Chains A and B, each alone.
Chain A
């Protein structure tokens, strides 16, 4: 069982829908991350949260809106997405954002935008 849990695992949405991805970590970590992985491209960092404060926003379009209500939960709210936003969205955590250690990933949410 992974220490980082993502739901839903699969999501299909139309361009006018609003949906949210959820991530929960059970590792007691203080830093949480959203990455996007598109086919044949490297993982792209989207957002970094440290102790519920957003510390990195990697030029992500405003149709992606993150929320971190506490250090264990991270959301990615989606609205008016484009077909090119179809990808695997990976949540990750590590003890602190200033750490240089490994990232622990959830199983990902595979998003298809029609």
Chain B
């Protein structure tokens, strides 16, 4: 089993839709979790950290489910500008973050 797995997509959704991505991980000792956004041919940029209690930032909500070992990202009222690849990342005790391969989102007018 891969350390971090994501559905590559693409998820094609209309503007205004709600879309959710999951990311599963295999290392139960992982302590910190993140969602990054990566635009085409650009570097990943932090979207939000994922806390045990869940957290929300505007239209974005992140959740952690330790029992089932996954994190999720919910985007409400999708905008065209949300089109990007969303990478989950977690600390697996290797002094660095381990990344999933990303889920591509395409928001259509």
* Interface residues, chain A, with chain B CB atoms under 8 Å away: 2, 31, 33, 40-43, 45, 48, 50, 55-56, 88, 90, 97-98, 100-108, 110
Contacts and interface: CB of A to CB of B under 8 A. Distances in A.
B101 A40 contact: yes
24 contacts: A40-B8, A40-B101, A41-B101, A42-B4, A42-B87, A42-B98, A42-B99, A42-B102, A43-B87, A43-B99, A45-B96, A88-B41, A90-B43, A90-B44, A100-B31, A101-B32, A102-B34, A103-B96, A103-B97, A104-B46, A105-B43, A105-B45, A108-B43, A110-B41
Contacts of B97: 102-103
**B interface SS class:** loop
Contacts of A88: 41
A71 to B, nearest CB: 15
Nearest to A102: B46
Nearest to A100: B32
Interface of B: 4, 8, 31-32, 34, 41-46, 49, 87, 89, 91, 94-102
Nearest to B97: A103
B7 to A, nearest CB: 13
A62 to B, nearest CB: 21
A107 B42 contact: yes
B44 A105 contact: yes
A43 B101 CA distance: 7
Given A100-B31, A101-B32, A102-B34, A43 B95 contact: no
A45 B42 CA distance: 17
A33 B43 CA distance: 14
